[in-house]
Structure 1
Amino acid sequence: MLMLAGAAAQAQTAVVIGGALRFDNDKVWQRIVDEAGGPQARLVVFGTAAANPTRAASQIVEALNRRGARAEAVPISPQLPADKLAAALRDPVLLAKVSQARGVFFSGGAQEYITGTLQPKGQPTPMLEAIWSVYRRGGVVAGTSAGAAIMSRVMFRDAQDVMDVLNGQLRPGLEIDQGLGFVGPDLFIDQHFLKRGRIGRMLPLMVAQGYRIGLGVEENSAAVIKADQAEIIGARGALYVDLRQASSDATLGAFNLQNARLSYLERGDRIDLKTGAVTAAEAKRSSSPIDPSASDFKPYFKDEPFYPDILGDNTIAHAMAQLLDSPAQELRGLAARLGPSGEVRSQPGFEFRLYKGPDTRGWFTGAFGGEDYTVVNVHLDVTPVRVASPLYTRVTAPTPASAPSPRP
Structure 2
Amino acid sequence: MEEEVKGRLIALGGGDDDGLIKLIKSEICSLQSHIEVIATATPQAADGVNSGNAYKEAFEELGCGNAHFMRIDEEHEADTPDNIARIRKADVIFFTGGDQLRLARFLNGTQVLKEMQRRFREEDIIISGTSAGAAVMSDRMIYNGYGHYSLLRGEMKTTHGFGFISKVYIDTHFAERGRFGRLAHAVAHDRDYVGVGLSEETGIIIKNGDQVEVFGPGVVTIIDASDVRFSNISEVPENEPIAVQNLKMHLLVHGYRYCLREHLFQPVPQEQSNVGV
Query: TM-score by structure 1 length?
Result: 0.59
CA contact (8 A) 1:134 1:140 kept: no
Q: SS in structure 1 opposite 2:230?
A: coil
Read off the aligned partner of 1:257 and give its amino acid letter. Answer: V
- 2:248 equivalent in structure 1: 261
Aligned-residue identity in percent: 25
Distance in 1, matches of 2:231 and 2:10, equals 36
Residues 284-310 of structure 1, C-alpha deviations (whole Å, 9 max, x = no match): x9xxxxxxxxxxxxxxxxxxxxxxxxx
Distance in 1, matches of 2:256 and 2:231, equals 34
What's the Cα RMSD here? 2.3
Shift of 1:281: 8.1
Structure 2: segments with no counterpart, 5+ residues: none
Shift of 1:114: 0.4
Q: SS in structure 1 opposite 2:104?
A: helix
Pairing partner for 2:15 from 1, 14, 20: 20
Bigger Rg over Cα? 1
**In the superposition, relative to structure 1, how do residues 116 and 148 fare at CA in structure 2: closer, same or farther (>3 Å)?**
same
CA contact (8 A) 2:135 2:172 kept: yes
- 2:72 equivalent in structure 1: 76
CA contact (8 A) 1:41 1:68 kept: no
Distance in 2, matches of 1:39 and 1:196, equals 36
- 2:228 equivalent in structure 1: 246
**In the superposition, relative to structure 1, how do residues 126 and 55 fare at CA in structure 2: closer, same or farther (>3 Å)?**
same
* Pairing 1:166–2:166 present: no
Q: SS in structure 2 opposite 1:77?
A: coil
- 1:394 equivalent in structure 2: none
Pairing partner for 1:277 from 260, 265, 271: 265
CA contact (8 A) 2:6 2:120 kept: no
- 1:211 equivalent in structure 2: 192
* Pairing 1:97–2:83 present: no
Shift of 1:141: 0.5
CA contact (8 A) 2:144 2:155 kept: no
- 1:115 equivalent in structure 2: 104
- 2:114 equivalent in structure 1: 129
Larger % of helix: which? 2
Structure 1: segments with no counterpart, 5+ residues: 286-367, 369-408
Residues 338-366 of structure 1, C-alpha deviations (whole Å, 9 max, x = no match): xxxxxxxxxxxxxxxxxxxxxxxxxxxxx
- 1:231 equivalent in structure 2: 213
- Within a 5 Å distance, the mapping from 1:4-403 to structure 2 comes to 6=3, 10-23=5-18, 25=19, 28-51=20-43, 52-69=47-64, 70-78=66-74, 80=75, 85-86=76-77, 89-119=78-108, 124-136=109-121, 137-159=123-145, 161-170=146-155, 175-183=157-165, 185-227=166-208, 228-250=210-232, 254-275=241-262, 276-279=264-267
Distance in 2, matches of 1:182 and 1:153, equals 7
Distance in 1, matches of 2:231 and 2:119, equals 44
Shift of 1:37: 4.3
Shift of 1:216: 0.8
Q: SS in structure 2 opposite 1:157?
A: strand
Distance in 2, matches of 1:169 and 1:281, equals 42
CA contact (8 A) 1:241 1:260 kept: yes
Aligned length: 260
Residues 64-118 of structure 1, C-alpha deviations (whole Å, 9 max, x = no match): 223332211001123x2xxxx34xx222122111211111000000001101001
Query: TM-score by structure 2 length?
Result: 0.85
CA contact (8 A) 2:113 2:162 kept: no
Shift of 1:149: 1.0
Shift of 1:212: 3.8
**In the superposition, relative to structure 1, how do residues 281 and 268 fare at CA in structure 2: closer, same or farther (>3 Å)?**
farther
Q: SS in structure 2 opposite 1:192?
A: coil
**In the superposition, relative to structure 1, how do residues 141 and 249 fare at CA in structure 2: closer, same or farther (>3 Å)?**
closer
CA contact (8 A) 1:149 1:156 kept: yes
Residues 199-254 of structure 1, C-alpha deviations (whole Å, 9 max, x = no match): 11111111223334221111111100012111100131201112111222437763
CA contact (8 A) 1:188 1:211 kept: no
Distance in 2, matches of 1:148 and 1:163, equals 23
Shift of 1:131: 2.2
Structure having greater relative contact order (Cα 8 Å, sep ≥ 6): 2
